[in-house]
Homo-oligomer: A and B are copies of this chain.
Amino acid sequence: MIKQITMTHTSVILTPEGRREQQEIVAIETPYKVALNDKVIGASMVLETGLEEFGAGFLFGQGYVTKPEEVKEVLVCPEGKISVYADVEEEAAPKEVIITSGCGGTGKISREMLEGAFDPLQEYTVSFTEIREFILTTLRASRLGQDTHCVHGCGLWAEERLQAFYEDVGRHNAVDKIIGAILLKKIPARGAVYTTGRLTSDMVLKCARIGIPIVLSRTAPSSLGLAIARRAGLTLAAYARPERLNVFNAPERILLEGDR
């Protein structure tokens, strides 16, 4: 089933000189419920791509699912429901929940997740040349972002190539789709993620929890995003451009020509 993810709309361009009409492309957001073992856990507006991945990633973000082995099946009903079947106890859900920073969307996280310890991240280094290729490839893939200015993109690079790229109206949802792809064993976690969104607490937290060693953003981190990266030992780079990275934590994973 092909979903329609954009629509056109005629807008009026207003300048001091006058008015004229212009065709615009608008991203379509659609409400979807997410259910775990047939119990509805939450709902979100989403861009209708990578819905299976989104369902699994959404439940991971909220602490219901923690590893790939738990996820058994994901079914998407076109009426607006993603059903995830997983070997988990419902009571595994987080207790004290914090709805996260304004741009938190689906980002309900628990105080426990925020303050708990992290498993050590896998050893992984990557050359600056590869990072450059990663950013350029991801930006080229982001057609919808260029057309609508209303979606965030998120890509995962591993084993010297772009493994997956997703877009969504929400920056959280785009990352959730990448994390869902890891949970569904479509892509490895041992790699680098590039997101066009800001790295607030919940964004960095879910990457650290799933075991992604390097997280890059086109834009900035917040104080808690940075604090989590430091606690997890995760490499966090902001304002990532093909020729320049501002590495806020653990720069040793990114190697320059003369390093080896």
Complex contacts, A100 vs chain B, CB 8 Å = 44-45, 105
Give the shortest distance, in Å, between A11 (CB) and chain B (any CB): 5
Complex contacts, A239 vs chain B, CB 8 Å = 149
**Does A28 lie at the interface of the complex (its beta carbon under 8 Å from any beta carbon of B)?**
yes
What residue of chain B has the Cβ atom nearest to residue A198's Cβ? B150
Give the shortest distance, in Å, between A185 (CB) and chain B (any CB): 24
Number of interface residues of A (CB under 8 A): 75
**Does A14 lie at the interface of the complex (its beta carbon under 8 Å from any beta carbon of B)?**
yes
Complex contacts, A103 vs chain B, CB 8 Å = 102-105, 152, 169-172, 197
Copies of this chain, tallied across the complex: 2
- Tell me the bound Cα distance from A210 to B54 in angstroms: 32
Give the shortest distance, in Å, between A219 (CB) and chain B (any CB): 5
Given contacts A14-B251, A26-B223, contact A200 B98 (CB under 8 A): no
Complex contacts, A128 vs chain B, CB 8 Å = 14, 16
Selected contact of A9 from candidates B27, B31, B243, B248, CB within 8 Å: B248
What residue of chain B has the Cβ atom nearest to residue A258's Cβ? B18
**Does A66 lie at the interface of the complex (its beta carbon under 8 Å from any beta carbon of B)?**
no
- Tell me the bound Cα distance from A152 to B171 in angstroms: 14
**A102/B169 in contact, CB under 8 A:** yes
Given contacts A26-B221, A200-B169, A223-B27, contact A13 B245 (CB under 8 A): yes
Complex contacts, A97 vs chain B, CB 8 Å = 43
What residue of chain B has the Cβ atom nearest to residue A239's Cβ? B149
Interface residues of A in 197-251 (CB under 8 A from B): 197-198, 200-201, 219-224, 226, 237-239, 243-248, 251
Give the shortest distance, in Å, between A65 (CB) and chain B (any CB): 17
- Tell me the bound Cα distance from A19 to B102 in angstroms: 34
Q: 9 A-B Cβ contacts within 8 A?
A: A14-B237, A16-B257, A26-B221, A29-B222, A44-B104, A46-B101, A102-B152, A102-B172, A104-B106
